[in-house]
Amino acid sequence: MTVNERLFETGLFDSWYESAKKRNEQEMVDILCKVEISEHQASKIVRNILEDPERYDRATQIIRF
């Protein structure tokens, strides 16, 4: 299951993107940990998104606002 699928299935999809919009790194990591992603892996995912948001479809749209 993809990360987005996990977020959607657990009802955390909107919370994740609100956190991305605010560029709240710790909140983003915490949400990913709630969908059974290790803290280490969650931190890497979040850093990658925040460092290069254009590489990520929906994250780019939100972070640019």
For position 1, what pLDDT does the model report?
Answer: 86
Band (pLDDT 50/70/90 cuts) for residue 4 is confident
From CA 19, how far away is CA 34, in angstroms rounded? 14
For position 2, what pLDDT does the model report?
Answer: 86
For position 45, what pLDDT does the model report?
Answer: 93
pTM: 0.82
Cβ pair 63, 20 in contact under 8 A:
yes
Average pLDDT, the chain: 86
